[in-house]
Structure 1
Amino acid sequence: MVNTNSEHGGKAGLLPFRKSGLKQPTAGSLLFDCVIYALLLAMILVFLYPIYYMAVVSVSNGMNVIRGEVKWFPIGFNLEAYKMILSDKSIIRSYGNTLLYTSVGTLINVAATALCAYPLSRSKLYGRGLFTLLIIITMLFHGGMIPSYLVVNSLNMTNSIWAIVIPPAINVWYMIIMRTFFQNIPNEIHESAFIDGANDLLVFVRIVLPLSMPVIATMTMFYAVWHWNSFFPAMIYLFDSELYPVQIIMRSMLIDGSVGNNDPARDLTTIQTNMKYAVIIVTILPIIMVYPFIQKYFVQGAMVGSLKG
């Protein structure tokens, strides 16, 4: 009798596992998972090592860098390169310009993209297909650099912040993603709001935008990264060096070899390589710090916005 109960008890203990439909992992599946994790770890190292190496070199002794001794850990730790960067007025000023261009440009981008995407997401918009086609055509055909410069110059926007933030106000691909996200919002929500007396603008501001925070956060990050890394529009439209973003300064350092605060009497504890890598680290650090805070929105914002055309 005891054996029978234990036998039934053993079977009963297996019932939840069987009902759940789960299967025990096989040796092949475990091996496959190990290979995938190993590949992902290798990719992470490949992508992160250049950034890590630049950070290590930027705080190492210049003579050790010249001799090629710096590989994985800093040698002769010093922060002289960062002190020189923070004491250079041109770099500090250009850093402030980049912050201004990124914040204002991202605000304009997100607002313009949302205002364009919402009407195109509504089926009752007359001529919606034609408007969408005309907008998509701009992805395939572009006037070119010279016509764009002539337009910006004719509007008297050259050598000002507006030449940096107004021309790229809407990215068509991002607008399509945001439009598709708006389309996924149930139509019953709009109808109930209209019954309560709300108009399209009120529905957009009070209902659609709060429900669309994932895609808005995703687009904000995409636009902010683009503005932060952008330097070519500044080369074309800005003539005053006081308006240059930090990317222009970094470009001159990397290509021309010119480093702000060059002192011929400076010892070899800090060389141009230290300065270059330190500027790169200082330039990319804000984006790296911001990314983790909104990374959780990326999958929901970008993937949900691309489910339907």
Structure 2
Amino acid sequence: MIKSKDRKLVVDKYLGGKVEPITSKLGIETNLRFHTLALICEGHAKDFYELESFFKETFFYKHTKMSLRFELARVVNNLMEWGMVKEDSGLIFPTTLGSMVSGLYIDPLTGYLFYAELRKHMSDIGLLHLICRTPDMERLYIRSGDDWVEEEAFKLRNELSYYPSTFSVEYDIFLAEIKTALCLLDWINEVDENTICKRYSIAPGDLRRILETAEWLAHALSRISEYRGLGRLENLASRIRYGVRDELLPLVKLRGVGRVRARKLFNSGFRNPKDILAKRNLAERILGPKIVENLMDQLDKIR
């Protein structure tokens, strides 16, 4: 609601004011890769001419009059090199991998990194660092007091998918990847949220945003792992969601049981929801009668 005294100000500013410029993000390579693969997978573009014709009708082209021909050619070549599309007699077709990556709504480069770098029996930090290498993942900044990140990276170098030279141009980016991966590792190892925020100089909202992105990418990583015949990474996404070690997953999936309550139950001998039913009195002493009572509707379904 607009107060009468503010009416003229609002009308002048929002109706009669100068229109803010609108720009397109399509010229950014990550966006161009994503939409190019989607067009091919959905059958909207079957050759390079149809791709170029489609993008000529976009706001980006109408606004800038810039041809995307060179960038499109490079993107299509990358997609072919990554095994996501193939060309035959001038026609472009998606591969099974390309269709999967498009359906996962991830950058094709993310899909390629997952497919090319994933190995059997990778450690938690190895998997988390692989997620943090992708263009879809937000990375934490390296600050002046973050020398410890470099030390941790050196200790963990044999568990990582790559470890660049300290003199390379990508080394600073690598350290940001490692810092973000270590933040995620602390979270899934049940480090207190306040401790994490202090250690990594982030706000709780920043942590939540990073966790949501990492969980989404962990799901995609699991799908690609299964496609490669390495099996699904069943627990990684759930561990990122709940912030727990593997052994607490059966307990935290109960509504009302978070990471702290689940750890209390586990340390008292509870391993799964059925244990709460079997040892209700003990559970009430740990969590309180009201909380356990609220859990009973869920627990009754698994009797």
TM-score over 0.5 (shorter chain): no
RCO comparison, higher one (Cα < 8 Å, 6+): 1
- Give TM-score scaled by structure 1 length: 0.23
- Give TM-score scaled by structure 2 length: 0.24
Q: Which has the larger radius of gyration?
A: 1
